[in-house]
């Protein structure tokens, strides 16, 4: 017999099976193919975790070198893509620019609708290889700045950050940015991942599935929180202003971005704890100790007033800021990092596909007849 229980937002509903990741709240772990994501972020780089997701195991040295070589070969963007991005309206948001570019990229793939394993692997590499350049240059194009081409002599994360800022990052900056990408790489079944596999379940192409994920991630209740957090921190200005600022917003029943999570309700987001440590390290080198103090004070206030813990976005935002990443790029970078998890989920959906087709709890009228 069908279970007709209605749960708004599908909260607590098991939607699919996956071997990719799991939020083990009881043990305070984000499990990525059997590994603890936080341990991965502290011991290996982003590309090794990306390889783990798309292939099923951590790469050995030869596999890693081959993976890097393939990504370098596929990271060049067709010039037409940049032309399309440049033709968009002057008020375009960067997530919309990213969505359009990703959709256009599909038209350059002659095997866009082929779902054999070799082609899906190739498409995964195309998406991983091109996403940094598309994301970084969406900002430059919108602001009438020259496109910055990829530098194959740099590692993936250093190259990504250089295309954003125009400067070769040092080792500390590269490590902080690499950890940012890694903690955003995969997170079980958030709205954007669910959107991607629902689209993939129709046997639509991988690019289309990720276009749907971009549209989902654009929403302020999903991916836009990191941008909102940084704007809030800039408004508060000093540690002394944090408590009155937050209490005033709470009194007016306004939502405080960067706190609370649908899954992490009674325990801290472990990714936020890692980014808090990363922020402290950056502050020690680059200054802005007041920014770290503001974040800590805000965490204390929200715990006291609402019993809420910070999520990843709360501490990721100031890390982005100290790396000189424009605020408008925070959410597009989130998507670029999550690309590895998304393509892995789409491929997994193709392998064990069943079309998503849920039912509804009808609340309308019945028995009406036209006159």
What's the pLDDT tens digit per position in 184-202? 999 999 999 999 999 999 9
Nearest to 326 by CA among 150, 163, 205, 190: 163
**pLDDT at 262 > cutoff 70:** no
Could you count the other beta carbons within 10 Å of the beta carbon of residue 333?
27
Q: Give me the pLDDT at residue 155, please.
A: 96
> Per-residue confidence at 255, pLDDT binned at 50, 70, 90?
confident
Same domain, residue pair 279 and 244: yes
Tell me if 271 is assigned to some domain.
yes
**pLDDT at 301 > cutoff 50:** yes
Same domain, residue pair 165 and 298: no
| Owning domain of residue 123 | 21-218+328-351
C-alpha triplet 175, 180, 186: angle, nearest 5°: 130
> Per-residue confidence at 337, pLDDT binned at 50, 70, 90?
very high
Q: Looking at residues 272-280, what average pLDDT do you find?
A: 95
Catalytic one of 178, 269, 313, 345: 313
Tell me if 368 is assigned to some domain.
no
Q: Looking at residues 290-314, what average pLDDT do you find?
A: 93
Same domain, residue pair 197 and 87: yes
Tell me if 62 is assigned to some domain.
yes
Same domain, residue pair 169 and 264: no
Helices (H), strands (E): how many in the chain?
A: 16, 3
- Is 261 a residue of the active site? yes
Tell me if 206 is assigned to some domain.
yes
Q: Give me the pLDDT at residue 338, please.
A: 98
Task: Look up the CATH number of the domain holding residue 141.
Answer: 1.10.580.10
> Per-residue confidence at 264, pLDDT binned at 50, 70, 90?
low
Poorest-pLDDT segment among 7-16, 137-146, 228-237, 240-249: 7-16
Q: Looking at residues 279-308, what average pLDDT do you find?
A: 93
Helix, coil or strand: residue 23 = strand
Tell me if 369 is assigned to some domain.
no
Output the CA torsion sign for 189, 193, 199, 200.
negative
Q: Give the Cα separation of 278 and 222 in Å (integer).
A: 23
Q: Which alpha helices (DSSP H) does 31-151 contain, by range?
A: 37-43, 46-55, 61-73, 79-86, 94-106, 117-142
Tell me if 2 is assigned to some domain.
no
**Edge-to-edge strand ranges of the sheet holding 21-24:** 21-24, 29-32, 35-36
Share of the chain above pLDDT 90, in %: 84
Q: Give me the pLDDT at residue 302, please.
A: 93
Tell me if 16 is assigned to some domain.
no
- Can you give the pTM of this predicted structure? 0.94
Same domain, residue pair 295 and 272: yes
**Which of 302, 322, 342 lies at the terminal end of a domain, its last residue?**
322
Same domain, residue pair 118 and 238: no
- What rounded mean pLDDT belongs to the chain? 94
Q: Give me the pLDDT at residue 9, please.
A: 86
Same domain, residue pair 239 and 339: no
Same domain, residue pair 44 and 130: yes
Task: Look up the CATH number of the domain holding residue 257.
Answer: 1.10.230.10
Nearest to 194 by CA among 217, 219, 227, 224: 217
Nearest to 163 by CA among 148, 174, 177, 141: 148
**pLDDT at 1 > cutoff 50:** no
Same domain, residue pair 276 and 333: no
Same domain, residue pair 157 and 274: no
Catalytic one of 140, 187, 261, 345: 261
Same domain, residue pair 291 and 161: no
Write out the two tokens for 331: 């959410």
For the chain, how many structural domains are there in total? 2
Same domain, residue pair 165 and 188: yes
Tell me if 264 is assigned to some domain.
yes
């Amino acid at each position: 017999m069908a279970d007709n229980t209605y749960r708004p937002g599908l909260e607590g509903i098991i939607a699919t099976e996956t071997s990719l990741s799991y939020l083990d709240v009881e043990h305070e772990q984000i499990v990525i193919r059997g590994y603890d994501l936080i341990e991965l972020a502290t011991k290996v780089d982003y590309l090794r975790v990306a390889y783990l997701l798309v292939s099923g195991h951590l790469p050995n040295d030869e596999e890693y070198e081959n993976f890097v070589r393939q990504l370098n070969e596929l990271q060049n963007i067709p010039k037409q893509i940049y032309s399309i991005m440049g033709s968009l309206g002057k008020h375009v948001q960067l997530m919309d620019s990213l969505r359009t570019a990703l959709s256009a990229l599909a038209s350059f793939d002659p095997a866009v609708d082929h779902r054999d394993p070799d082609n899906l692997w190739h498409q995964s590499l195309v998406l991983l290889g091109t996403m940094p350049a598309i994301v970084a240059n969406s900002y430059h194009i919108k602001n009438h700045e020259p496109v910055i081409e990829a530098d194959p002599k740099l590692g993936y994360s250093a190259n990504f950050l250089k295309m954003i800022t125009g400067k070769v990052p040092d080792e500390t900056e590269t490590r902080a940015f690499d950890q940012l990408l890694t903690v955003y790489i995969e997170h079980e079944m958030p709205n954007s991942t669910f959107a991607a596999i629902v689209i993939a379940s129709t046997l639509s192409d991988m690019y289309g599935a990720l276009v749907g994920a971009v549209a989902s991630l654009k929403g302020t209740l999903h991916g836009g929180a990191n941008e909102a957090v940084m704007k809030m921190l800039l408004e508060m200005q000093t540690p002394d202003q944090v408590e009155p600022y937050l209490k005033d917003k709470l009194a007016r029943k306004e939502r405080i971005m960067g706190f609370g999570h649908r899954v992490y309700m009674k325990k801290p987001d472990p990714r936020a704890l890692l980014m808090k440590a990363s922020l402290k390290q950056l502050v020690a080198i680059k200054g802005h100790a007041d920014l770290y103090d503001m974040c800590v004070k805000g965490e204390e206030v929200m715990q006291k007033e609402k019993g809420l813990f910070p999520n990843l976005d709360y501490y990721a935002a100031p890390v982005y800021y100290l790396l000189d990443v424009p605020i408008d790029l925070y959410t597009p970078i989130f998507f670029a990092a999550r690309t590895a998890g998304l393509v892995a989920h789409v491929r997994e959906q193709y392998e064990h596909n069943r079309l998503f087709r849920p039912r509804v709890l009808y609340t309308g009228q019945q028995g009406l007849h036209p006159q």
